[in-house]
Amino acid sequence: MLAVSEAATPDFSRAAVVSPRWVTWREHTDIAAYDERFDRLSVAGHHVHGEAEFIAGYAPRTVLDAGCGTGRIAIELARRGVDVVGVDLDADMIDAARRKAPHMDWLVDDLARMQLAHRFDLIAMPGNVMIFCRPDDRRLIVHNLAQHLEPSGLLVAGFSLERDGYTLAQWDTHCTASGLTLVDRFATWDRDPYVDNGAYHVSVYRALVQPVAQESSVR
């Protein structure tokens, strides 16, 4: 009799560069099924593009989707006429994004250390990037993304606020230390008002512009 071959063990080596917590998520999540879920919701008439609609409301010409995953939000923004670049450290996610939209720009890179040639009107982190990244990289990620903004550019991020996890106060401290100032804060991508101790936030920060020294009025 022929031996029945064992199913191939999933390879999460590309996910491991992100963080152990990300590997755990990947172990319990099939990428194709993850995408298909949003497709089914859309076909059923559910609104699945709240993040893209929120981001497009600020009328950016250029957007960096930081931690873009399989590209759902970046692809929708591009459909709306925005010039988008998607970047993710997990190459498996970028492969999935490229299969769906090969004409778009997708990069495998580290948000904490990447050095891109372009600056962007808006940088979006609509996924739980700050939860799934390595904790030691959080400050570096915020600082590096701030460096990739155009003057007065916006950093838009939404993520869950977990008990004993990365706090909103820590996020605000990292943003302020990186030269960003808070513009808006909501509880959802539908702009529901944020209340203290909420479980989720969407925050919009603007890059500060270095003031131009004025000429002295004294002659």
Domain boundaries defined on the chain: 14-207
Cβ–Cβ < 8 Å for 137, 109: no
End-to-end CA distance of the chain: 101
Q: Is the pTM of this model over 0.75?
A: yes
How far apart CA 207 and CA 175 sit, in angstroms, is 9
Tokens of 24: 């755990």
How far apart CA 85 and CA 206 sit, in angstroms, is 19
Cβ–Cβ < 8 Å for 82, 70: no
- Cα dist from 43 to 35, 38, 47, 75, 76, whole Å: 13, 9, 10, 17, 15
pLDDT in tens, 150-184: 999 999 999 999 989 999 999 999 999 999 999 99
- What local confidence, expressed as pLDDT, does residue 38 receive? 76
Cβ–Cβ < 8 Å for 80, 72: no
- What local confidence, expressed as pLDDT, does residue 37 receive? 82
Domain 14-207 indexed as CATH 3.40.50.80 = no
- What local confidence, expressed as pLDDT, does residue 25 receive? 94
Q: Which residues of the chain have pLDDT under 70?
A: 1-8, 46, 48, 210-219
